[in-house]
């Protein structure tokens, strides 16, 4: 945890040198690029931050309001094969999952974060209604 905070602070201070508006413009312009370019951005962003890979970086970007980046998790891997009619997404790598999620979200006209959220709910509850308290 300490390593992530120290490395993350150093990296964010570099990325915020020109101000927060500049940072958001940069992230926004990257999120408008191809899924491959977005993947390269999250990989490069996370390199100097120990123990932070693309999934955590995508989650960070989502939390600060950039919903185009999606953290592909086990719900994606479990539910996506049923949605696409494929055998298994688990044989694909992280990059292929990321690109596939972007491609499918674009094809149906939703933000990748919302696709991930739908798959999360589907994976968690399936055909059952959530229990209400």
DSSP letters spanning 69-125: S----HHHHHHHHHHHT-S-STTS-HHHHHHHHHHHHHHHT--HHHHHHHHHHHHHH
| Alpha carbons 104 and 80: distance in angstroms, whole number | 10
| Total domains, the chain | 2
Residue 84 and residue 37 share a domain: no
Residue 55 and residue 16 share a domain: yes
Q: Which pLDDT value is given to residue 104?
A: 84
19 domain residue, yes or no: yes
89 domain residue, yes or no: yes
Residue 82 and residue 53 share a domain: no
68 domain residue, yes or no: no
Parent domain of 49? 2-63
102 domain residue, yes or no: yes
| Alpha carbons 20 and 37: distance in angstroms, whole number | 22
Our separate counts of H helices and E strands in the chain read: 7, 0
Taking only the tens place, the pLDDT of each residue in 68-86 is 988 776 666 676 676 666 6
Is there a contact between 77 and 97 (Cβ–Cβ < 8 Å)? yes
Residue 53 and residue 16 share a domain: yes
Taking only the tens place, the pLDDT of each residue in 96-113 is 888 888 888 898 999 988
69 domain residue, yes or no: no
Q: Name the residue with tokens 């491609």.
A: 103
- Average pLDDT over the chain reads 86
| Alpha carbons 99 and 39: distance in angstroms, whole number | 8
Question: HSE on the CB side for 77, CA within 13 Å?
Answer: 11
Number of neighbouring beta carbons within 10 Å of residue 129: 6
Most confidently predicted of 37-41, 80-84, 125-129: 37-41
133 domain residue, yes or no: no
| Alpha carbons 42 and 54: distance in angstroms, whole number | 5
Residue 57 and residue 8 share a domain: yes
Q: Does the pLDDT of residue 49 top 80, yes or no? A: yes
Across 11-18, average pLDDT: 98
Q: Does the pLDDT of residue 11 top 80, yes or no? A: yes
């Amino acid at each position: 945890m300490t390593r992530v905070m120290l490395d993350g602070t150093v990296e964010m201070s570099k990325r915020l040198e020109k101000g927060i508006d500049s940072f958001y413009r940069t992230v926004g312009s990257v999120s408008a690029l191809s899924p491959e370019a977005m993947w390269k951005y999250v990989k490069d962003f996370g390199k100097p931050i120990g123990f932070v890979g693309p999934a955590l970086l995508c989650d960070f970007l989502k939390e600060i309001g950039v919903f185009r980046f999606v953290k592909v998790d086990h719900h994606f891997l479990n539910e996506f094969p049923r949605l696409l009619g494929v055998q298994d997404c688990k044989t694909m790598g992280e990059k292929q999952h990321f690109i596939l999620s972007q491609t499918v979200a674009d094809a149906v006209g939703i933000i990748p974060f919302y696709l991930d959220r739908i798959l999360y709910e589907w994976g968690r509850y399936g055909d059952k209604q959530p229990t209400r308290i």
